[in-house]
Amino acid sequence: MEKNVRKPVIAGTWYPGDPAELTRDIKEYLKKVPGNGVRGRVVGLISPHAGYIYSGQIAAHGYKLVQGRHFDSVIVIGPSHRSLFRGASVYPSGGYETPLGVVPVDGDLAGRIIGHGGGIAYHPQAHAQEHSIEIQLPFLQVALGQFSFVPIVMGDQDRRACEELAEAIYKAVKGKKVLVVGSSDLSHFHSYDRAVKLDRRVVDLVQKMDTDGLIRNLEGGSCEACGGGPMVVTMLVARKLGGTGVKVLKYANSGDVTGDKGRVVGYLSAAMYVDNPSGSRVSANPAAAGTGLSEEDKKSLLEHARNTIECRLKGKPLPSLSSASGATREKRGAFVSLKKQGRLRGCIGYIEARKPLAQAVSDMALAAAFKDPRFPPLKREELADLDIEISVLTPLKKMKDINDIKIGRDGLYVVRGFQSGLLLPQVATEYRWDRLTFLKETCYKAGLPAEAWKEEGTEIYTFSAEVFGSRE
């Protein structure tokens, strides 16, 4: 790998060249970030690429979200500042070096992206002096530890180039758990007030995940971002991977840091995530889940959930629960997930057994359709395309020993004070987590530090779940 290792070109200038100082600075940036948890699995970040004294604290807001997590690979996309070329350039093998060591390139993934064609190739000059990729790596090294990545520099940033690259990445990463980082600063060298006005337009469009609007506004000159293309590609890939959630974590500009508000540069940190990964569709073993539901019970619950939503849409009285019998009359925790064309459209549930299962499903079907704050209320014309999925939980059991956790059988529920987070059993299986990773991810879901499960005052519960859907 040594013969194809790109040496750092901005270490000692844009960020510290001494490993100890660099690590200390990044940890300090991360430490200052308040709790900014998101309700889901992060798949994309937008992160600035200025010198750390200007944008390091803003960048830390995104990297704090993924600190301690595992990804099969990371894809870092930046704009070309120094080299003119068409399409996008993918570094194919070897690695990128920083003062913290060499980050290996995921050669297999890079090769698959290049193999897509469409103007995607390897242009050595695109990477030689480009800082927008390198500036992200020390943060990733501190936040993730060991990882492999694919560096991509965009020469073209128009709509066609963004869509082509996003499709290439999406096809190449199928079956992998990846993080995509779009490296970009916002407006450059305007007065403070003018910069805030321009940047607010970008922030609003990112918050809406409006890639079309962002491209139009950038091309029309009504806002600025030197890495607009990487931002758009990150959002497009996140959406293709099932991401429906976006959170703007922090906006600031250089004037906020230096106090000089004459000619400033804008910085943004934002995250794209797969909303509520507990809504994943899997086939479950009823015996393992211990729900005692028959196939007829499951069919009845699914029909009842759909009928309940349909009656509310049509303004009719809700269907009666008098026919509920057997296991559907027992008190159970349950989640109802709604999906439209494979994408989450609502998901709300009872964690604990508060009501009889039939009533819980009825309540949560209505809540998922009309009261999930992440989505607008369901419309009547959407019903025909709606998939309904029900997750029935067994009673919570307080965990005594983490070695008792069985991946694929157990879900986790972490509680500390007013914060709590739940992940269903299939999540750990889907992402191939071990016990410790599952515990850490559940802590993140609760908005807690990764190691909070070890601390006094944190309660951990296990449970099983049976998941079944209307269109399996």
Cβ proximity of 178 and 75 under 8 Å: yes
User: What number of H helices and E strands is found in the chain?
Assistant: 16, 20
pLDDT value of residue 379: 94
Q: What is 2-275's CATH number?
A: 3.40.830.10
Q: Quick: pLDDT tens for 357-385.
A: 999 999 999 999 999 888 899 999 999 88
pLDDT value of residue 287: 35
Return per-residue pLDDT of the chain as tens, 472 residues.
457 999 999 999 999 999 999 999 999 999 998 765 676 789 999 999 999 999 999 999 999 999 988 899 999 999 999 999 999 999 999 999 999 999 999 999 999 999 999 899 999 999 999 999 999 999 999 999 999 999 999 999 999 999 999 999 999 998 889 999 999 999 999 999 999 999 999 999 999 899 999 999 999 999 999 999 999 999 999 999 988 889 999 999 999 999 999 999 999 999 999 864 443 333 333 333 456 678 888 889 999 999 999 999 999 999 888 766 677 888 888 989 898 877 789 888 888 778 899 999 999 999 999 998 888 999 999 998 899 989 898 888 899 899 999 988 888 999 998 888 888 787 787 678 899 999 999 998 888 898 999 999 999 999 888 888 865 3
What number of other Cβ atoms are within 10 A of residue 248's Cβ? 16
Does domain 278-469 bear CATH number 1.10.3720.10? Answer: no
Outline where 51-116 has alpha helix (H).
Answer: 52-66, 107-115
The pTM of the whole model exceeds 0.75: no
Instruction: For residue 285, give both structure tokens.
Output: 């073993």
Residues of the chain with CATH 3.30.700.20: 278-469
Q: Quick: pLDDT tens for 124-148.
A: 999 999 999 999 999 999 999 999 9
Cα separation, 177 vs 322, whole angstroms: 45
Cα 86 to the center of its chain, rounded Å: 30
